[in-house]
A = this chain, B = another copy of it.
Amino acid sequence: MRTHLSRELPALGAGAAVVVCGWVQRRRDHGGILFVDLRDRGGLVQVVFDPARPEVFARAEELRSEYVLEVSGILRQRPAGTENPALPTGAFEIDATGLVILNTADALPFPLDEPDIGEAVRLKYRYLDLRRAVMRDNFHLRHRLIRTARRYLEDHDFLEIETPMLTRSTPEGARDYLVPSRTHPGHFFALPQSPQLFKQILMVAGFERYYQVTRCFRDEDLRADRQPEFTQLDIETSFLDGQAILGLMEGLVKAVFRETIGVDIPIPLPRLTFDEAQQRFGSDKPDLRNPLEFVEISDLVRDVEFKVFAAAAQDPKARVVAMRVPGGADLSRKALDDYAAFVAGYGAKGLAYIKVNDPVAENGLQSPILKFLGVAVVREILARTKAQAGDLLFFGADSARVVNEAMGALRLRVGSDRGLVAEGWQLLWVVDFPLLEYDEEHRRFQAMHHPFTAPRSDDLSYLLTDPGRVRARAYDLVLNGTEVGGGSIRIHEPRLQEQVFGVLGIDAATAREKFGFLLDALRFGAPPHGGLAFGVDRLCALLAGAESIRDVIAFPKTQKATCPLTEAPSTVSAQQLADLALLSTAPRV
């Protein structure tokens, strides 16, 4: 219907006869003339309706916001002084000689340029919400992200292969979404939490390099930024070790940053072991833009009078750390109390501190615990933390878990409160995760990633003797403190896989029932293989600067897992349930 998109107009130059189509973004009446900003997928262009053409002008007077138009006219320079340099087409306007109103629009439930619409309304009228420039830009960025990743992988000989959505329920990890089978009453498919087993099967099949951008499903209670369905860039390779895989993926990440936000990421990316990340940042996904770090002082405080420190320092499962806050000596009593309450939320029993007004002067320090530490120890702490005049030291002393969680959270909070977090993009790999974590409640080991993750070969000897000590060949990609990807080298030997199932307390019969096909597959020539998956929604939200992944998903669910647009989920007919041999026990509403 149109001859050109608005963005193509400047290249034509004044005098061109054009037909454009789009929406009325804004209408202004000025000096008896009618100006319309017409919006199409390429941008905006100003259309002028002149009363000198009475028929067209009369029709133009009917125009309201979001009417859909086909406008024919002549492109011309805007009069000097009326150009809009903010607009790519801002030197031009269309002198309208014809107008077709392709569709009208009712008054909108909210103005498109209103920034603070409630999310429920935005999702109900998603087709309006998505017209906003910020949303449109998000989906263009998402498109470029996925396109770039695909092309990179295709250029590196990866094959896109689709895996099933209707698959088998394996009640490990999160809760499955179930799909009743009509042809097999009493039987259910499950929607995949990830294509993990299928991609390993594809490696056994010899494809060597697989990728897929695919939907995954978890029926979990939704935390802040989770969705029941989410998109994963899923990758698996054969005959590559962890180093080679990380290298390949760094190239991918670099390409994505370049093509989405024009940022050049230096590679190789830094790598931190899980242990070091915990020691220095109390986190397995440290935000390296935040300069705050823990300093271990357990060895300094083993024998101090302050029992909280001494006890933690002497307990091999506990730790004592200091965290220096540059310039933090100006924190008020109230601020310190607030932080103490904050860490209490993470299980810390208190929040010791030292204000370093002057590290060398007599009475230059301020703290309730000074006298229980002793001058010599305090001096060593100041030296080790490199405390300067005006700084403040926070202390954490508790089980390593509580210290890491509480002080890790405090690190983020203080860094943010005090504007210490640098601009920019900090990527890193966290590697050498523990293979297992101990589940205190069920008194058994669980796989930290999943039960198919390969142990490091130099830790194999501990597998049966000291399983908690075994490190995995697993890696996470962390961007500005958020995990955006993760994976591992997998077990390719059936005997080792059976051993790991044993350590996890999965007996042979259960293993066979749940994963029999994988165990079988490993017996028929499985190559060494490994891979990873990126969380597309989360990566996209970060790159777009969106507050929520819901802003980079076209039709997301609410926190209550509903869709305000379609009003899903909904009730279904009795016949539909009967067809599935199911009865609902839900109370009728």
Contacts and interface: CB of A to CB of B under 8 A. Distances in A.
A356 B576 CA distance: 57
Contacts of A528: 1, 68, 102-103
Nearest to A40: B208
User: In the assembly, how many copies of this chain are there?
Assistant: 2
Interface residues on A, range: 35 or more
29 contacts: A23-B527, A40-B206, A41-B209, A68-B526, A103-B492, A103-B522, A103-B528, A105-B523, A127-B204, A128-B524, A129-B205, A139-B207, A143-B159, A146-B160, A147-B154, A163-B555, A165-B217, A166-B228, A167-B566, A167-B568, A169-B576, A178-B580, A179-B569, A184-B560, A184-B562, A185-B586, A186-B586, A581-B585, A581-B586
Contacts of A566: 167-168, 197, 517
Contacts of A186: 571, 584, 586-589
A130 interface: yes
A140 B159 CA distance: 7
A164 interface: yes
A238 B181 CA distance: 38
B561 A183 contact: yes
Contacts of A219: 182
A588 to B, nearest CB: 7
Given A171-B576, A228-B166, A527 B68 contact: yes
Contacts of A129: 205
A74 interface: no
A21 interface: yes
A103 B184 contact: no
A166 B159 contact: no
Contacts of A177: 166, 179
Nearest to A578: B585
A206 to B, nearest CB: 5
A413 interface: no
A583 interface: yes
A505 interface: no
A494 B179 CA distance: 35
Most buried by B among A104, A168, A178, A560: A178
A22 to B, nearest CB: 8
A95 B520 CA distance: 33
B127 A521 contact: yes
